[in-house]
Structure 1
Amino acid sequence: MCNEAARRIAIDELRNDWGETRIPLVFPEGVPNMAPLESFRITDPTIIIRGVDGGRDEAECLTRRWSWPGAGGRPVYNFRSDGRDVRAGRCLIPVDSFFEFTKSADPKAKRKDKWAFRLAGHDWFCIAGLWRKDASVGEAFTMLTCEPGPDIAPYHSRQVVVLGRDAWADWLDPSVPSADLCQPLPAGSLTVAQVR
Structure 2
Amino acid sequence: MCNLYSMTATVDEMRRIFGPFEGDTSNVPAYDEIYPNYSAPVLRRKEDGGLKLEMMKWGFPGPQAAGGRPVTNVRNLDSGFWHNALNDPARRCIVPVTSFCEWTAEPDPSTKRKSKVWFGLSEEHHPLFAFAGIWRPGEGGPYMAFLTCEANQLVGEVHPKAMPVMLTPGADVDQWLSSERANACALARPFAETSMRRVS
- Which of these residues, 74, 85, 107, is aligned with residue 79 of structure 1? 74
The answer for the alignment partner of 1:155 in structure 2 is 158
Aligned letter for 2:5?
A
Asked if 1:182 is matched to 2:188, the reply is yes
- Which of these residues, 35, 44, 69, is aligned with residue 38 of structure 2? 44
Q: Offset at 1:102?
A: 0.8
Quote the Cα distance in structure 2 between the aligned partners of 1:151 and 1:35. Answer: 30
Bigger strand share:
1
Q: Offset at 1:170?
A: 1.5
Pair 26,170 (structure 1): closer, same or farther in 2 beyond 3 Å: same
Bigger helix share:
2
Quote the Cα distance in structure 1 between the aligned partners of 2:41 and 2:154. Answer: 26
SS at match of 1:152: helix
Larger mean CA deviation between 178-187 and 119-128 belongs to 178-187
SS at match of 2:87: coil
Q: Offset at 1:179?
A: 2.5
Asked if 1:33 is matched to 2:27, the reply is yes
Q: CA RMSD in A?
A: 2.0
SS at match of 2:154: coil
Quote the Cα distance in structure 2 between the aligned partners of 1:149 and 1:25. Answer: 32
* 8 Å contact kept, 1:150–1:186: no
The answer for the alignment partner of 1:9 in structure 2 is 9
TM-score by length of 1: 0.85
CA deviations on 1:49-99 (whole Å, 9 max, x unpaired) are 11113x7x2111111111122131211111115557823211000010010
Aligned letter for 1:52?
K
Quote the Cα distance in structure 2 between the aligned partners of 1:6 and 1:39. Answer: 5
Pair 64,32 (structure 1): closer, same or farther in 2 beyond 3 Å: farther
Quote the Cα distance in structure 2 between the aligned partners of 1:108 and 1:69. Answer: 38
* 8 Å contact kept, 1:81–1:179: no
Asked if 1:173 is matched to 2:178, the reply is yes
Aligned letter for 2:196?
L
Q: Offset at 1:11?
A: 1.0
TM-score by length of 2: 0.84
Percent identity, aligned pairs only? 30
* 8 Å contact kept, 2:17–2:128: no
* 8 Å contact kept, 2:108–2:114: no
Count of paired positions: 185
